Amino acid sequence: MKRFLSLLAFALASLIRRKRRSLSLGFGLLLIAFLLSAALLLHDSIRAEYERLIPGMAELSVHQLRGGRPERIAGDALKELESHPGVRSITPRVWGYLYLPPLSANLTVMAKNGDPALPTILDGTLPDNEGELTIGDRIAHSLGLRPGDSIALPGAAGFQLFTVRGVFTSDSSLLAGDLALFTEKDARSLLGYDDELYTDLAIALSAPSEANAIAARIEKLLPGARIVERSAIERAYALSFGQRAGFLAALLLPILGSFLLIAWDRLSGSSDEERYEAGVLLISGWEFRDILTFRILESSALSGIAAALGISLAYLYLFIFDAPLLADLLLGWSSLHPTFKLTPMLHGSQLLMLVAILVLPFTAISILPAFRSANVDADALLRGGR
Amino acid sequence: MIASFRRTLLPFFLLSLVSIGGLFFALIDASIRREDERKRVDEKRALVSLLPSAELFFSSSARWLRHPSLSEPMAPFADTPSGFDVDPAGALQPPLSLHREIRPKVQPE
């Protein structure tokens, strides 16, 4: 143990002696650790976010299509299915988008179809009467609205005046940042739906595993309908973000590779000096094994510290400073942008994996130069043959 | 001995302390935030039932980026039918379960 500690102290002292080399290699590794872990942590958080939320959604959504384009659907189009034991409820929904010129953005206009209690994510209440609305935090922020304020919205039949009853907090921004919730009558008049038709039907099932069977029944009842299964949306999301984060990681891996190449070059390029040092150590009684351990300790200490700092900085950047630039790169820019509040999914095992990805290759590439430098003829060195 | 420790090892000791401290901070902060989120998750799921779908709101400036699965069936390809898909719901390699599902459908009759 004492021997190991002495070797460690010597390895650290050696890193300080070659301050410039240690700093440049350490900084390079820190930067790569930062970029790679930021991309992976961000992807994990977004994936966990929608995986947490998907169970809140109805298992099936049914839309009417005509000529491949979406049409609205009658509220009782699937009346026959209501008595089906696998179907818990069929909710006809009215929703659409409303372009708001002052924001250059689309709002999601939705008619309220339930009255859940939302004490922590809603400041105020849901709309109960006509002329009331509840909005997402980004709309409220962009227009400077608070519960009790009034707003005129450009509906299908001209401007309509509404009172803000509630504002969703920024904790729910990724879901409801652009949401404007109305009573059904108001939603219809804003969107210009002056008939009895609905945007779609949301079908909640008693057992999600029956989704395929019920979808097949719906296909027979409504041949022109488009049935979107919840699992399909989940899969589409997994693929879409997996691909984006994968592209980012794929861009970063060659950078890691070229860094390792440069590190290899630097480590083996200074072998003359290292060979001389190794020769002196051999003469003063060190064993070949000690020199190898010393080199491994030297490079793993450097890469370990750089990787740990890089990962910690990535965490601060993502979850304390809300990831400027990277979020735009991954999510795209918009005039109405969500408050970027993600929940970190960092676990010990993930941390170990990240450290291993960064430390192991760096330590591995330092072994061969160490072999070469330790394999010197001490006798020739004594005679001045460097 | 102490002087040489100060000169050589102290900076390393401090740096290691900062980096390991950073990792511990990240782990503890992450678990606190996860716990907070766990308290909100039921409400958020209830909110999802008030929305067209559980799709996340990243951008509202392009119509196909909001509830793309529900809004328009051909949305990703609507503007440039043979163009590069800007928000593809696909990957280089589909998950294995999807592979198995797709195969029978693409077989020629």
Q: Are residues A48 and A97 in the same domain?
A: no
Residues A158 and A96 in one domain: yes
CA distance A189 to A127: 15
Residues A49, A62 share a domain: no
How many distinct structural domains can be found in chain A?
Answer: 2
How close, in Å, is residue B78 to chain A by CA atoms?
11
B54 chain-A contacts, CB cut-off 8 A: 50, 53-54, 56-57, 175, 230, 233
Q: What is the domain partition of chain B in residue ranges?
A: 1-50, 55-81
Tell whether the model's pLDDT for residue A330 goes beyond 80.
Answer: no
Assess A49–B contact: CB distance below 8 Å, yes or no: yes
Q: Does the pLDDT at position A159 exceed 90?
A: yes
Nearest Cα residue to A303 out of A13, A38, A27:
A27
Arithmetic mean of pLDDT, A316-328: 84
Contacts for A293 with CB less than 8 Å, ≥ 6 apart: A4, A7
A236 touches chain B (CB under 8 A): yes
Q: Between residues A377 and A34, which one has the greater pLDDT? A: A34
Q: Average pLDDT of A60-82? A: 88
**Which B residues 41-100 touch A at CB under 8 Å?**
41, 43-63, 65-74, 87-92, 94-95, 98
Burial A164-175 (b: 16+ CB within 10 A, else e): bbbbbbbbbbbb
How large is the ipTM? Answer: 0.82
| B28 at A interface, C-beta within 8 A | no
State whether A152 and A276 are in the same domain: no
Q: What is the maximal distance between C-alpha atoms in chain A?
A: 101
pLDDT, average across residues A344-369: 86
Q: Could you say which of A167, A201, A229 is where a domain stops?
A: A229
Which residue among A207, A229, A251 closes a domain? Answer: A229
The pLDDT confidence band at residue A272, using thresholds 50, 70 and 90, is low
CA dist., res. B16 & res. A240, Å (int): 38
Residues A109, A218, single domain; the answer is yes
Q: Domain range holding A183?
A: 58-229
Quick one: A96 and A222 in the same domain?
Answer: yes
**pLDDT digit string (tens) for chain B, length 109 residues:** 556 666 667 888 888 899 999 999 999 999 999 999 999 999 999 999 898 888 887 765 544 456 766 665 555 444 444 444 444 444 445 555 554 554 444 444 4
Q: Same domain, yes or no, for A49 and A62? A: no
Answer with the one of A197, A212, A229 that is the final residue of a domain: A229
Cα A135 to chain centroid distance, Å, stands at 25
